Amino acid sequence: MSQFGTDITSDDIIADLSFFDTWEDRYKYIIDLGKELAPLSDAQRTDENIVRGCQSQVWLVSHRDGDKLFFDADSDAFIVKGLLAVVLAAYNGKTPDAVTAFDIDEYFQELNLLKHLSVTRGNGLRAMVKRIQDTASVA
């Protein structure tokens, strides 16, 4: 199970990123977060698990444990894996209601993230979030 959302929360990410003075350092931190994501197996890297709308290849797998949702994710791009870790910190281990209620826009604003990403990366980030929120809305 991923440590993002359980051991590393969205508040942790906000606090950690605030320590860095430059976006170059913040990008390095985000990339390092992505390195902590366990890779998905080849069996999980299916068309069904691909997140459409991302510039890079992104796979997202969900499962439920009791009343909580958990997500595993992977990408072929280092920065995208880091962005996945940032997103998973916000959503992993929460109930479907908590996932849909979480103010992701406020989270991204606190991170000052979207204005430092290309338009295509920002769109991909939104596609990841939408996939997670859609999963929660039918769970």
Give the CATH number of the domain where residue 36 resides.
3.90.1010.10
Contact 50, 59 (CB under 8 A): yes
pLDDT band at 129 (very low <50, low <70, confident <90, very high): very high
pLDDT at 2 over 80: no
Q: Residue 76 domain-assigned? A: yes
Q: What pLDDT, on a 0 to 100 scale, did the predictor assign at position 8?
A: 93
Q: Residue 122 domain-assigned? A: yes
* pLDDT tens profile 35-76: 999 999 999 999 999 999 878 999 999 999 999 999 999 999
Spell out where the chain has E strands: 58-65, 68-75
pTM of the model: 0.94
Q: State in Å, rounded, how far the first CA of the chain is from the last one.
A: 19
pLDDT band at 6 (very low <50, low <70, confident <90, very high): confident
Domain that holds residue 104: 10-138
Among candidate residues 104, 13, 65, 44, the one with its CA nearest the CA of residue 5: 13
Q: Residue 75 domain-assigned? A: yes
Q: Residue 4 domain-assigned? A: no
Active site residues: 54
Q: Residue 3 domain-assigned? A: no
Q: Residue 2 domain-assigned? A: no
Share of the chain above pLDDT 70, in %: 99
How many structural domains comprise the chain? 1
Structure tokens at 116: 């430092």
Q: Residue 107 domain-assigned? A: yes
